[in-house]
Amino acid sequence: MRPLTLTRAAGLNRLRSRFVNSSARGYMTILHPPKFENEKLLSYAKGSPERTELSETIQKMKNEFPSTIPIKVKGAELETKQSRSQVNPYRHKDIVANYALATPDQVNIAVDAALKAKPSWEATPFEDRAAIFLRACELITGKYRSEMVAATMLGQGKNIWQAEIDAPAETVDFFRYHVQEAWALYSQQPKVHPDGNWNKLEYRPLEGFAYAIAPFNFTALGATLVGPAALLGNVVIWKPPDSALHASWLLHKILLEAGLPKDVIQFLPGDAEEVTNTILKRPEFSALTFIGSTATFKGIQKKIGDGIGQGVYNSYPRVVGETGGKNWGVVHSSADVRSAALNTIRAAFEYQGQKCSANSCVYVAELETSKIMTTVTPVIHERSFDKLNDFIEAARTDSELELITGGKASKEKGYYVHPTIYKTSNPRHDIMKRELFGPILGVYVYPDAEWEETLKLIDTTSRYGLTGSIYARDPYASRQALTALKHAAGMLYLNTKCTGSTVAQQPFGGSRDSGTNDKTGTMAHLQRYLRELEEQVTRSAASGRYAVSARAGHHVQPPLMGSEAVGFSPAPSATPYLPPDDQQTAGWQTAADDSPIRNPGRRVDTDERQEYHDSEFSKNPLVDKEEWTFAATPDGRYWYMGPSSSWSFCRRVLALLGKRVPESNSPPDPWHLDGMAFKLQWKQVSLEESPDVTNLPPLDYALFLYNAAKYYLASLSFLIDETLYLQELHEFYRDPAAKAASRRSWFAQYLLVLAFGKASITQRNPSGSPAGHQYASRAMALLPDLSGIHEDPLTSIQALSLAALYFQSIDMRKAAFQHIGQALRCCIIEGIHRHVPEELGGLELSQRCRTVFWVVYMLDREFSALMGGPNSIRDEDITVRLPAEVASTVENTDLTLHVRLARLMAQILTTVYGVDSASKGALIRDIQSILHALADLSHDITEFLDNSFHGMVGRGSKMAVRLMLAQHHCVVLTTRPLVMCALNMHIDSAERQPSQSICLSSPVASLLQCCADSAQTILQTLRSLADDDLMDAFLPFQVEHASSAALVLYLIRSIAPSLITNESWCDNLDCVIEKLTAKGNIAAPLRKLELKHLDLMLTPLTPRSANRTMPPITSDDIQDNNDDTYALDQVDIGDEVEWDLLALNHSVSLPPRELLDLADQLDVDSIMHSMEA
């Protein structure tokens, strides 16, 4: 499946999920927004391009000052007689902008225009709204970055670094994070659906409009006020701050350029009190989002309360406010004083103290004198300057304040207040509880013995609760402070400054008089701008149909799935499951209620058709059909057809086609049993005989082969303890005969490593035998029998496991299954499936046992699925810790994810392919369970790949590709029984009425689409590896992935060709199989013959448009798989290898959201009603 991601183009093409039902297409759109990352900050170093560009932009902006900011509604300017000016705080005689002041009438015009735009904006799909904000991010960080920084510097008196963090970085962080969190919020649905009902939540914007009052100190805060509400479908009246108008106007213009409809966000400068009073009289007022002073917020909140009491509003308005703060710091006697002093100074004086979280009072056990090395920048406007200057003047005569540094202010040129520190003798002095919002810091020195009393003092002195810092290295003191001050701050910081909040890392907001604590950067904040509509889909007792009821009397669309079925026609014009407008041109139609699908015969009742459909997909035919459990070869011997085995699946399909489709006129099944590709032979070496140490490579070549084997084995190479192996390797070459005789299991392991290394680096052997097989034969002759394993159990387990992997690689599946089973039983006998205590043999032995067990476990689960056998050990009996739980290295995390995939494989075997599950007829439920589990795992795998391997060269690529291929293989394995069910239906339909198309319910059609997509992704990924000569040709996994993917694609192409949009997978398959064959894979020629055989037998069932001409199969092909038919010219490999396999033009990772949505669909479709009865 391909994850749906937003493009960087202006706007976004409508993304339609394959799971969209035509009757509710807008509700099932699946969007996976880009992974959130904080914006990277530019350095602006001297001589850097960004500094040069910024200097030019500042100069150009100064030359164009003052700018004019009008009142614009519906794209037209409104005339106004009143205006004001924004000045440059650095030089207040310089006017930055002249801006119009909206009158009350103009405010009402703007509100009316916004409400008129609301229906269209509310109906706009979320992904289209999200695309506008993400496009704005591209403009802010690209085209307008230097302009945003310059506008913030000149308008708000910030330096380069402060403006870079504020204007571009934090603004786009908020926009991007809101998109991600909104997507996650929309995805949240009820988990419980009792009595066959289906409960769901619909998220809708508020009924009227939102009003946003932005603060003067940060450009980004305007974005975080208007962005969430508008993103969620609301219209917003934006009252920008007078002292940040220029930057705010620029941001609004960027949003319009990004595609925001012109009346969705009304940019309305004006007198704050006049605009607000006009807004609060409107009955459509639905939400206030505010950042500013506590007094102003309380006044507005009172007016809203009065309006509610007078019945002014259509609904209770939502109120979100972040207000004042008296942010404190407390320094314990155990603190690192230097660090505490530095962080306190930065928190107090950066941004001239005009940051919501700025530190303005500190309690210290002892005062450490420190020089203040900080660049003085102006405060933002004259009102701030006057308030701060008045405090400094009053402090000159205040006996309770001692000036430590600063105490100077001047507005001769700009609004400059020097960083100022006062020490107070009164812990409840005004400086310790009054918000000053500037570069003034109050310090109170408390006796060391009064730590607990000081904590109580901090908690009770100030009425605010925004941020606070605790500096203490004593863990007990830290815990005391965190407990005592839990209500004194909405954000607590330990041993760092209290101004470090970063979007998506530390949600921002406080309580008490600091606001409503609706923290920005959280999903809870977004919910303040939404209404949640509860809907319940109930099933009528009489008809079994679903009906929808909604709370609060809202109009509700039809259910997403209902009992609608999808008809797939074998006709050339068949198309995939499309929305209604696309169906008309495609000649495709759905089967709903009693409507026939191109059926000239009798009218088929919907319930009858549904009952037949449900029964066909209720059980796994690979488990339930006893007639296919055993099959006879031409020599009369019967073979067990393991239900999960791809080899058995092919045999079952060929047998079914041979019996039910006689017109296929195909040669008999070639079978290709164990040993037909190559049969490894050896003669056991007894304990009395000395192992043969002749004809071995020199040490340097042996080291080369070891490293080759290690590379190709990837995570499986953890089976070999590298340090110990290399140590014994050097010992062996000093005295080969003695070492081989005394360490027979290690010597067998050494020979198998040589065999793997040689086979991995050598192209196809003309004789047809794998390169290095002589080493493997000698190793098998040395493997201990059941009585001799316990003399060196761990090395024996390693050797047996390598032997099993080698057998699987040469298509000797039975020998592989037996050897890995023996290795696993040895693990159980030795107890290493439980944690081996370090006290028994040391840390290294405990770690080695843990790693060896998990690799054996992985191979056992894999080979059990390939053989079609049950699980050999229950997960409940395993207590050894996962590697990542011990140390979170890349290698340990990779191994852990492989183990989790192996556990999922075990779950697939016990549910989808379990005998007990088959008897209960719960196939769909079992698949749903697996999809939920796979979605959780895919989330962790995607996160691991994104964090560890994107853009990396080397060790990342093979780890990443194997994880991704394994995910998709799990999807194919899980959904393959449904392909078999559909094949049976297709054959039945063709026998009854050749022109009759099969009828598949929407979830089953979606599951088949899911299967086809994963299968195509597997082949595309392998094709990319083949093109760059990066395939693991000798190992068994990639040929298994390719053949199992091809099997289901051939069948789906015959059953429902519209699910496969093009034939590129055929070319990919040919390339992959030929490449594997050329590089010496033993099984590839056999799988190629089987697939050609299957393709030929499916011809009568496959629409002509879906057929691709295949080379004919001859009897010679079947008899001799080593014929020159498989000769391949040398493949051309380009000079440059595409190492970044995550950057392919197709998806190689599974989007967890799609899997969850698909799994959740299976809860509601009528396919379940017969099983619930």
What phi, psi does 530 have (nearest 5°)? -130, 150
Nearest of 505, 484, 482 to residue 495 by alpha carbon: 482
For tokens 């070492």, name the residue.
739
From the number of C-beta atoms within 10 Å of its C-beta (0-12, 13-18, 19+), residue 603 rates as: exposed
d(CA 330, CA 678): 75
d(CA 774, CA 767): 13
Hey, which residues does 76 pair with through a beta bridge? 73
For residue 155, the tally of other CB atoms under 10 A from its CB is 29
Task: Enter the DSSP assignment of 786.
Answer: T
d(CA 210, CA 207): 9
Catalytic residue of the set 170, 181, 284, 322 = 322
In this structure, what token pair is assigned to residue 569? 């026609």
- Is residue 945 within 8 Å of residue 1149, measured between CB atoms? yes
Q: Report the amino acid identity of residue 915.
A: V
| Burial per residue of 285-319, b for 16 or more beta-carbon CB atoms within 10 angstroms, e otherwise | bbbbbbbbebebbeebbebbeebeeeebbeeebbb
| Burial per residue of 529-545, b for 16 or more beta-carbon CB atoms within 10 angstroms, e otherwise | bbbebebbbbbeeeebb
d(CA 379, CA 156): 8
d(CA 276, CA 296): 11
For tokens 């049993």, name the residue.
673
Angle in degrees, CA 997, 1002, 1008, rounded to 5: 75
Max CA pair span of the chain: 111
Nearest of 529, 489, 488 to residue 508 by alpha carbon: 489
What phi, psi does 133 have (nearest 5°)? -70, -35
Catalytic residue of the set 170, 181, 356, 1074 = 356
d(CA 112, CA 106): 10
d(CA 1004, CA 772): 47
d(CA 878, CA 861): 14
Supply the angle between the helices 722-734 and 699-713 in degrees, to the nearest 10: 160
- Is residue 1059 within 8 Å of residue 1009, measured between CB atoms? yes
Q: Is 311 left (phi over 0), alpha (psi -120 to 50) or beta?
A: left
- Is residue 203 within 8 Å of residue 530, measured between CB atoms? yes
Q: What is the rounded radius of gyration, in angstroms, for the C-alpha atoms of the chain?
A: 36
In this structure, what token pair is assigned to residue 34? 């880009």
What phi, psi does 520 have (nearest 5°)? -65, 145
Q: Is 971 left (phi over 0), alpha (psi -120 to 50) or beta?
A: alpha
HEC string of 486-509 equals CCCCCEEEECCCCCCCCCCCCCEC
- Is residue 1041 within 8 Å of residue 1018, measured between CB atoms? yes
Query: What is the four-CA torsion angle of 121, 122, 123, 124, rounded to 10 degrees?
Result: 50
State yes or no: is 257 an active-site residue: no
d(CA 918, CA 912): 8
From the number of C-beta atoms within 10 Å of its C-beta (0-12, 13-18, 19+), residue 364 rates as: buried
State yes or no: is 322 an active-site residue: yes
Task: Compute CA 470 distance to the chain's CA centroid, rounded to the nearest angstrom.
Answer: 35
Q: Which residues are catalytic?
A: 322, 356
